[in-house]
Amino acid sequence: MDHFSPNRLTVLSGPSGVGKDAVIEVVRKQAPWIWLSVSVTTRRKRDYEVDGKHYHFATRTEFERYIQEDSLLEWAEFAGNLYGTPRGPVEVRLREGIPTLLKIDLQGARQVRKAMPEAQLVFLAPPSREELRRRLTGRGTEDPDTIRRRLEHADEELAAEKEFDVTIINDYLERAADELVGLLGSPILASRN
């Protein structure tokens, strides 16, 4: 792939609470041609989740086999569960010229950079640390200790912003989504030789 191709792999990362899911939701409505990779996880499926849509749910044994077979582009363990990006579907979409988006954490973004140096790494940043704190506490879904840990982790992630190719500030949802769509481009027909 041409290093400057708008149809290369794009990785979206940023601290918890920055609004990655909200931005992606708008992107999917604006640009349905963009393919969003579905991660595989060993975590228990929540009631509202659909296998293959929210995640591909796997046993730890299955996941470990994926690691051994090198069929994951990146993977990590978080809170006792394994999460990863299946390599095959990503490679197929890229060969087909389909703009491909991964939403992964900092550790995963670093692994993708090593595996696919031509990937475009996009950092979604909050307007400020105070706004990030407000968003995390405003969720009302986590206890103060969890929020404190997430903010500490967010500080580490914010410090890694310089490792990314592009930063998008999520101060206005639609503008951030427009900017991401612009970076992803539109589908092209892959050359068939």
Residue 134 pLDDT level (bands cut at 50, 70, 90): confident
DSSP strand E in 42-80: where?
56-57, 72-78
Residue 180 has pLDDT above 90, yes or no: yes
- pLDDT tens by residue, 63-100: 999 999 999 999 998 778 999 999 999 999 999 989 99
Which amino acid, residue 156? E
Which amino acid, residue 64? E
The three-state secondary structure class of 162 is helix
- On whether the CB atoms of residues 114 and 75 are closer than 8 A, the answer is no
CATH topology for 9-184 is Rossmann fold (3.40.50)
- pLDDT tens by residue, 27-37: 999 999 999 99
What is the DSSP pairing of strand 35-36 with strand 72-78?
A: unpaired
- On whether the CB atoms of residues 20 and 124 are closer than 8 A, the answer is yes
Residue 6 has pLDDT above 60, yes or no: no
pLDDT value of position 185: 79
The residues pairing with 81 across neighbouring beta strands, listed in sequence order, are 78
- Domain map of the chain by residue range? 9-184
Average pLDDT, the chain: 88
